[in-house]
Structure 1
Amino acid sequence: MAPMKPLPHSFYDRPAEDVAPELLGKLLVRREGGGKPRRMGRIVEAEAYLGPHDLAAHSSKGRTARTEVMFGPPGYAYVYLIYGMHHCLNAVTGPGNHASAVLLRALEPVENVEASTSGPGRLCRALNIDRTLNGHDLTRGGLIIAEPDDPAPAFDVVAGPRVGVDYAGDWAARPYRFSIAGNRYVSRPSGRA
C-alpha cells in the first residue's frame, strides 16, 4: 500500500477559518502498530476556532496546561476531554503561534472504520484517539491528516453556526462550522453554501 502524503505544517499556518473548509475531503489516518489495521476516514465536517479573541475558543480563557498546545506551532493535535468521557481532536492552526484550531467533527469511513464517526466524540472513539495524542505532530507517526491519493469528487461546502458554544454570545452564531453539502456522515446539517 502506498504511503500517505501528510499535509505539511505550512498548510496549517493560516487562519483557522481558511484551514477548516480546506480540510474537507482530506483523510484522517490512524496507525497504531502491533498488527492493528490502519484506520482512515474522509473529513466531512470541521469547525474553526479563531484564537483568544474568539469567545468560543478554549484559548480565550488564556494559556493553561489544557490549552498550552494551542499556543504552540501549527500542525499539532489538540486533544481534550469533554463531559469527562468524550475526546475531541483539533488541528492547531496559525498564523504562527496564534492559539487557534480546527475541531474535526465528522468523518466518512474509508478504511477499517466500523463505528460511527458522526460527531467529534464518536470520531475519536472510532479511531482510538485520546489525550495521549495531545501535542502529536500531525505530519508524521500514528496520526496524520493527508491528501487523498485520488482527488475526492467535487463537492459544495456549506457553512453554519458552531455547535455547543452558546456561552460565547455573538460568537456562537458565526458561520465557522463547515461541512460537505449533503454528506450523510455530517453530525448536523449546516446552514448555507
Structure 2
Amino acid sequence: MADHDMTGMSELDASFYRRPVARVARDLIGVTLLFKGAGGLIVETEAYDHADPASHSVRGPNARNRSMFGPPGHAYVYRSYGLHWCLNVVCGSTPGAAVLIRAIEPVVSIEEMRCRRGDLPERLLCSGPGRLCAALGIDGSCDGHDLTRPPFSLSSASTAAQISIGRRIGISRASDVPWRFGLAGSAFLSRPFR
C-alpha cells in the first residue's frame, strides 16, 4: 500500500478530547494516528472511565495510572502483563477516563513498522494494542505526552466512518459494556465484531 496522502486533514485540538469518553472513542475511528511519522488509520478503540470497574482509574490515582487523571489530550501508556505497551488517549469531562487504541490500519512508513515487528502481512502489523505500540515504537517514555504535539499527530478523518459497536474484549469485569468501537468491515481489527 502506498503512503497515505495527508493533504486536507486537520490536527485534532484539545477540545476534541474534552468530551464524554464513549463519544471520543467512537469519533477516533478513522482518525490518522502518527508517531514519529509512522502510523495509519485508527480502526478500533475501547472506552474506560473512572466509574468503570474494568478501568485502571476505578480506585483513584496511583503511580501507574496518574496520567489518566491528567489533562485530556495526553497519552496514558502502560505495560500490559509486563510485556506489551498500550496507548490510551486521556479524555472526558471528569478525570480518570481514557480510550485504548486497539488497532490501526498501517498506512505510513509500513517498512519502518516491519523493521520493528518483522515481515508480517499488513493486517497483522498493528492489529492489537501491543502490536501497534511495537510497530510504532511507542513505550513508557510516551506516558503523559501531549498528543497535540510531536512526536504524535492525530488528524481528523476525511469522511465519516461506518462504526461497529460491541463489548470490550480481554477484560473480566464489565465486559458486557458496549464501549468497543471499530471501523465496519475493516480487515485490520484485533478481533472481528459479532
TM-score of the aligned structures, taking structure 2 as reference length: 0.86
Partner of 1:41: 40
Change in 2 beyond 3 A, CA 1:56/1:85: same
Aligned ranges for residues 17-56 of structure 1 at < 5 Å? Answer: 17-31=22-36, 38-51=37-50, 53-56=51-54
5+ residue gaps, structure 1, are 32-37
5+ residue gaps, structure 2, are 1-5, 115-124
- 2: distance between equivalents of 1:13 and 1:47? 17
The yes-or-no answer on 1:100 pairing with 2:103 is no
Q: Which runs of 4+ in 1 moved over 2 A?
A: 1-6
Partner of 1:66: 64
- 2: distance between equivalents of 1:98 and 1:172? 22
The yes-or-no answer on 1:161 pairing with 2:167 is yes
**What amino acid maps onto 1:40 in structure 2?**
G
Aligned ranges for residues 1-193 of structure 1 at < 5 Å? Answer: 5-31=10-36, 38-51=37-50, 53-95=51-93, 97-113=94-110, 114-115=113-114, 116-148=125-157, 151-152=158-159, 154-166=160-172, 168=173, 171-191=174-194
**Distance apart, 1:4 and its partner CA:** 6.5
Q: Please tell me whether the aligned partners of residues 87 and 101 of structure 2 are also in contact (alpha carbons under 8 angstroms).
A: yes
Q: Please tell me whether the aligned partners of residues 29 and 161 of structure 2 are also in contact (alpha carbons under 8 angstroms).
A: no
- 1: distance between equivalents of 2:161 and 2:187? 13
**Distance apart, 1:2 and its partner CA:** 6.1
The alignment partner of 2:105 has SS state of strand
Paired positions, count: 177
TM-score of the aligned structures, taking structure 1 as reference length: 0.86
**Distance apart, 1:68 and its partner CA:** 0.7
- 1: distance between equivalents of 2:153 and 2:140? 15
- 1: distance between equivalents of 2:69 and 2:184? 32
**Distance apart, 1:61 and its partner CA:** 2.4
